[in-house]
A = this chain, B = another copy of it.
Amino acid sequence: MHVTELIRKKRDTAELQPAEIEFLINGYTAGQIPHYQMSAWLMAVVLRGMTRAELAALTSAMLHSGEVLDLSELAGPKVDKHSTGGVGDKTSLIIAPIVAAAGVFVPMVSGRGLGHTGGTLDKLESITGFNVNLSAADFRRVLSTCGCVLVGQTAEIAPADKKIYALRDVTGTVESPYLICASIMSKKMAEGIDALVLDVKTGNGAFMKSEQDAAFLAELMVETGERLGKRVVALLTDMDQPLGRAVGNSLEVAECLEIMEGNGPADLRELCLVLAAWMLYLAKRVATLEEGKTLAAEMISSGQAHEKFREIVALQGGDVGAIDDPQRLPQAQNKIDIPSPASGFVASMLCEQLGTASVLLGGGRERKEDSIDPAVGMMIHKKVGDQVTAKEPLCTIYYNSAERLERARPLIEQSYKIADAPPKKQRPLIHRVIGE
C-alpha cells in the first residue's frame, strides 16, 4: 500500500477500504508515516468528507491504536455520557452519581476546558485533593467499589487520537465533523462501555453554532457507535445561554451539590434528569424513559446521589468536608455585580463571550501551560426571557485580580441584550433526540 495513493484516493472522493485506513492510522501512530502525509490526508478528509463505513473504520483504527478497557469482570452494564462542551455545562458531576446510585456502572473519562468551555476535570480539581489521574488498578478499584469513577484520559487510551489531534491543531484540520466524531468516539469506545449518551450542544455558546451542524455531528456519532456495536443516543441541547447559573469551577461544583440536595436551577436539574434517564434506559436498568426520569429524581430526593458523590470524592482522595460544607470550596476574594443598563427583558446573551470572560478571569487556560484559578467565575442572575429593572444585577462576577476583572467585565456587560419586550420564542432546552 502506498500512502500517496491513499491520499489521492481520498482527494478524488474514492472510498477507502477499512484495511487502507488501518494502514494509515497504524503507520502514523508508529511513526512510519510522516506528519506531512497525514496532514495532507486530513485536509482531504476535511474537504471531501467520509462515507459512514470509512468513518467507522477510522474510529475503529484509532480506538484499537491503544488499550481497550475490558470491564467484563464487573457484572452489569457500563454507561457513559459525553458532552461536546459548553458554558456552565456541569451535568457530569450530577449524572454520574445519580446513575451509579441507581446501580449502573459509570466509568467516566472526561476532559479539561477547551477554548471558552469548561472541563469536568478542572471542576473536580476545585475539590482539594481530588485525583483525576488514577492508575489502571485504582480506576478498577474505585469503579467496582462505588459504581463510578471520574478520571482523565490516560496515554494508553487511543494514542492515535492524541497524535492526530496535535497535528490537526496546527494544520487547520480541526473543523471537520468526521474527524471530531472519530476523535470523540474512539476515546469513548475504548472505555469498555456498553452504551453512551451524547450531549451535543447547539447555539452561540457551542462549538457547533447551528442546529444543522450539531445534528449532523450527532448523527455521525450515533451511527458510528452503532456500527461499532454500542447503544448510542444523542441529545441536541441548548447552549444559547449558560446552563444553570454558575460559571467557573468551584461555583459550578457548589451548584451541582445544590442540585443533588434537591435545589438549584430548573434547567440544569431537568437536563440532568433527562440525560440520566437515557443512561438508565440504554443500560436496561429501566424499561422506559419515564421510569428512568422518575428513578433519577428519586436518587436525588432520597439523598442517594449526594451520598454517592461524597463516596466518589472520598475514594479519589478529595476533601469530603467540602461536599458537606461548600464554603470550604475555594472562594474568590472579591465580587462585583453587573447592573442592568435599562429596564426590560433579557433578549439574548452572547454565551461564548461569557465563557471567554470566565477564561479571562482565570477560570480557564489562555495557553496550554496556564494554571487555573478554581475560585473565579460568575453567577448569572438573569437569563433569556427574564424581566429586569434598571440597575438590578444581571450577574455577579467573582474575581481575585483587578486586572483580570477589567479584561473580563466589558465582555460580560456587552454579552447581555436588553429589550422592551420578552423574546417572542424561547428556545427549548432539548432540541432533538437522535438515535434509538
Q: Which of A170-178, A192-200, A233-241 contacts B (4 or more CB under 8 A)?
A: A170-178
Is A171 a contact partner of B48 (Cβ separation < 8 A)? no
- Could you tell me which residues of chain A, from 201 to 226, have a CB within 8 Å of some CB in chain B? none
A44 contacts partner chain B, Cβ-Cβ < 8 Å: yes
Is B172 a contact partner of A47 (Cβ separation < 8 A)? no
In the assembled complex, the CB of A345 is this many whole angstroms from the nearest CB of chain B, namely 36
A228 contacts partner chain B, Cβ-Cβ < 8 Å: no
A160 contacts partner chain B, Cβ-Cβ < 8 Å: no
Tell me the bound Cα distance from A3 to B170 in angstroms: 8
Tell me the bound Cα distance from A41 to B36 in angstroms: 10
A397 contacts partner chain B, Cβ-Cβ < 8 Å: no
Tell me the bound Cα distance from A167 to B10 in angstroms: 18
Residues of B within 8 A of A172 (CB): 4-5, 7-8, 10-11, 40-41, 44
Is B11 a contact partner of A47 (Cβ separation < 8 A)? yes
Tell me the bound Cα distance from A3 to B38 in angstroms: 17
Number of copies: 2
A43 contacts partner chain B, Cβ-Cβ < 8 Å: yes
Give the dominant DSSP class at A's interface: helix
Tell me the bound Cα distance from A172 to B7 in angstroms: 6
A42 contacts partner chain B, Cβ-Cβ < 8 Å: yes
- Could you tell me which residues of chain A, from 156 to 180, have a CB within 8 Å of some CB in chain B? 167, 169-173, 175
| Contact code string A18-52 (vs B, CB < 8 Å = 1, else 0) | 00000000000000001111111111101110000
Residues of B within 8 A of A40 (CB): 39-40, 42-43, 171-173
Tell me the bound Cα distance from A169 to B39 in angstroms: 14
Tell me the bound Cα distance from A322 to B37 in angstroms: 47
Residues of B within 8 A of A38 (CB): 36
Pick from B11, B36, B44, B46: contact of A36, CB below 8 A.
B36
Residues of B within 8 A of A4 (CB): 169-172
Residues of B within 8 A of A171 (CB): 4, 7, 36-37, 40
In the assembled complex, the CB of A119 is this many whole angstroms from the nearest CB of chain B, namely 22
Tell me the bound Cα distance from A169 to B2 in angstroms: 12
Tell me the bound Cα distance from A172 to B10 in angstroms: 10
In the assembled complex, the CB of A300 is this many whole angstroms from the nearest CB of chain B, namely 44
Which interface residue of A36, A42, A170, A173 has the most chain B CB atoms within 10 A?
A: A36
In the assembled complex, the CB of A38 is this many whole angstroms from the nearest CB of chain B, namely 7
Known contacts A4-B172, A11-B172, A36-B35; is-contact A44 B42 (Cβ 8 Å): no
In the assembled complex, the CB of A242 is this many whole angstroms from the nearest CB of chain B, namely 27
Q: List 24 A-B contacts (CB under 8 A).
A: A3-B170, A4-B169, A4-B170, A4-B171, A8-B172, A8-B175, A10-B172, A11-B43, A11-B46, A11-B47, A11-B172, A34-B35, A35-B35, A36-B38, A36-B39, A37-B170, A39-B39, A39-B40, A40-B172, A40-B173, A43-B43, A44-B47, A44-B172, A47-B48
A37-B39, A41-B172, A43-B44 known; 17 new pairs, CB 8 Å cut-off, are A3-B170, A7-B43, A7-B172, A8-B175, A11-B46, A11-B172, A34-B36, A36-B39, A37-B170, A37-B171, A40-B40, A40-B42, A43-B43, A43-B47, A44-B172, A47-B47, A47-B48
5 interchain residue pairs of minimum CB distance: A7-B172, A35-B36, A43-B43, A40-B171, A8-B172
| Residues of A bordering B, CB below 8 Å | 3-5, 7-8, 10-11, 34-44, 46-48, 167, 169-173, 175
